[in-house]
Amino acid sequence: HHPSEYIPGSVMKVKLHNFMTYSDVEMEPGPRLNVILGPNGTGKSSFVCALAIGLAGSTKLLGRADKLSEFVKRGEQSGYSEITLATKDPDRPLVVRREIKRKDNSSTWRVNDVVVTHDRVKQEMHKLGVQLDNLCQFLPQDRVVEFARLSPEQLLKETERAIGNAELFDMHELLIKKKDAIQGLEREVANKRAKIDKLKAENASVERD
C-alpha cells in the first residue's frame, strides 16, 4: 500500500518485541478494514494492548493489567512496541516507540528515534485525532459491556468526537451551551415578569385604598 492511501492517525505498521505473547512480530495493516483472526491465546488481544500502551493510553483503558511491567513477555526483562502512524505528509510518518523495563516498571518514549516525554506523545496523538479513551474509536474486549451501557446521548457525543477532526462535536457542544444560555435568559425573563405582575397587583391594591 502507498502511504498516501492512509488518512492521518491510521496505523501503518506495528512492531513488537517481547510484548505479552510475542517474541518478535511485525504487522502492516492496510489503509481500510483490517481483521485479525486466530484461536484463543494466539495474540489478538496482545495486538490491541500494544496499540493502547504504545500510543500513550492508560492501562486502565484495557480493563486488565495495571502494572506496565506485566506487558513484558514472561521470562524477559524488557520489551518494546513500535507503532508507525500516518500523518498529513505521506513521506513523514510518525514512529512511536515505547521501551518497557520489568525490573522497575518504567518505560522510555521515542518519537522518530528522538527521546521524548509521555506528554509529548499525548500531544502528537491529539494532533492526529487518536482517541484511545473514546469507545466508539477504540473498544477493547474487556470494555464491551461498558460500551453497551452508553446512553443514546453519550453514543452520539462519542461518535461525533470520533469523526474527522471532532469539529462536529465542538459545534454540538457550542449549541448545547447556547441552548442553556437561552433557557437561562427565559427563566430570568419569567422571574422579572412575575415580579412585575406582583408589583402591579400591589400598586392596584394601593390605588384602591
pLDDT by residue for the chain (209 residues), tens digit each? 888 999 999 999 999 999 999 999 999 999 988 888 888 888 888 888 899 999 998 887 786 667 889 999 999 999 999 999 999 999 999 999 999 999 999 999 999 999 999 999 999 998 998 988 888 778 777 777 778 888 888 888 777 777 755 677 778 778 888 888 899 999 999 999 999 988 888 888 887 76
Conformational region of residue 87, where left means phi above 0, alpha means psi within -120 to 50, and beta covers everything else? beta
**Bridge partners, residue 59, by sequence:** none
Distance from the Cα of residue 117 to its chain's centroid? 19
d(CA 54, CA 131): 13
Q: Could you give the C-alpha distances from 13 to 7, 94, 130, 161, in angstroms and in order?
A: 14, 10, 15, 24
The dihedral through the CA atoms of 158, 164, 165, 168 has a sign that is negative
Q: Could you give the C-alpha distances from 87 to 50, 150, 169, 190, in angstroms and in order?
A: 20, 31, 22, 53
Residues in the chain: 209
> What is the pTM (predicted TM-score) of this model?
0.73
